[in-house]
């Protein structure tokens, strides 16, 4: 299952604010043996936002959407989501009750708009100020504020997707190959991919002019160990100088 992020707001595209959600998603998924497949940054333009949501809904991916669920006119995620999903926007009874309990009479006339959600939505609890996010299908919409959004994302993962978690460590091993053009590593990279379909391989040539390539092998620990043995055997047979760099990551649960 692909996992993506949709990060919303003109302030990110203008540079007024710097995104922190992508790094968080990479980390929180890695701790559960999962990987981030893609991220989209979208401004507050309703047409573009609706089309982006329509595409991600059609993709069947697991999506975490950050921002745009407030009560001000520039918060358009709820409305655009409803349009993209071809459903109505209506008061969610449980969300209405939460907002009335939180704000009393001051919930009206503006704050109560945050309870107007796409019909069929499920609520995501907010541990900071109780104003919920919402889920529909595999889309999960949370506020843009990290202190609220991040525990909400973790709740969604641990509550609804723990069956996807990997119990085997995900690691990446890096081998630095010297005095060797990148093209000569193509056969062993293809051999690894053919033998281990779940492994990801990468090559990163040096940018300083020397003939040096960083070869990366990433995946479940047991398969990576076998793949590295295959690579090392190939390098030794070809008399290609190599050294293994310190392990980049090991993320057990």
Q: What is the DSSP string of 104-172?
A: GGGGTTTGGGGGEEETT-EEE--TTT---EEEETTEEEE-S-HHHHHHHHHHHHHHH-GGG--SS-EEE
pLDDT band at 252 (very low <50, low <70, confident <90, very high): very low
Residue 206, pLDDT > 90, answer no
> Which residues are within 8 A (CB) of 78 and not within 5 positions of it... i.e. 6 or more apart?
68, 69, 89, 114, 116, 117, 118, 134, 141
pLDDT of residue 228: 96
Tokens of 127: 């541990």
pLDDT of residue 196: 95
Segment (H or E) for 11: helix 10-13
- Let me know how many helices (H) and strands (E) the chain has, helices first: 8, 13
Rounded CA-CA distance 136/160 in Å is 12
Q: Are 25 and 82 a contacting pair, CB within 8 Å?
A: no
Across the range 165-176, mean pLDDT stands at: 84
Segment (H or E) for 251: strand 249-251
pLDDT band at 224 (very low <50, low <70, confident <90, very high): very high
pLDDT of residue 246: 82
pLDDT band at 11 (very low <50, low <70, confident <90, very high): very high
More confident site: 31 or 56: 56
Rounded CA-CA distance 78/61 in Å is 19
> Which residues are within 8 A (CB) of 93 and not within 5 positions of it... i.e. 6 or more apart?
none
Residue 67, pLDDT > 50, answer yes
């Amino acid at each position: 299952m692909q996992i993506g992020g949709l990060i919303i707001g003109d302030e990110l595209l203008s540079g007024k604010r710097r995104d922190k959600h992508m790094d968080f998603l990479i980390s929180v998924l890695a701790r559960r043996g999962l990987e981030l497949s893609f991220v989209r940054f979208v401004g507050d333009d309703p047409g573009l936002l609706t089309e982006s949501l329509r595409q991600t809904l059609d993709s069947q991916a697991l999506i975490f959407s950050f921002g745009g669920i407030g009560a001000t006119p520039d918060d358009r995620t709820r409305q655009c989501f409803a349009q993209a999903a071809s459903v109505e926007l209506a008061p969610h009874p449980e969300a209405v009750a939460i907002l009335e309990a939180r704000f009393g009479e001051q919930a009206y006339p503006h704050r109560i708009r945050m309870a107007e959600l796409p019909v069929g939505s499920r609520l995501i609890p907010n541990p900071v100020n109780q104003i919920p996010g919402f889920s529909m299908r595999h889309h999960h919409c949370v506020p843009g504020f990290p202190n609220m959004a991040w525990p909400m994302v973790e709740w969604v993962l641990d509550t609804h997707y723990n069956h996807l978690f990997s119990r085997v460590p995900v690691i990446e091993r890096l081998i630095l190959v010297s005095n060797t053009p990148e093209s000569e590593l193509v056969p062993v990279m293809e051999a690894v991919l053919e033998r281990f379909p779940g492994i990801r391989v990468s090559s990163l040539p040096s940018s300083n002019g020397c003939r040096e390539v960083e070869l990366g092998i990433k995946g479940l620990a047991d398969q990576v160990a076998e793949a590295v043995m295959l690579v090392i055997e190939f390098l030794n047979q070809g008399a290609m100088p190599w050294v293994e760099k310190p392990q980049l990551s090991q993320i057990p649960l």
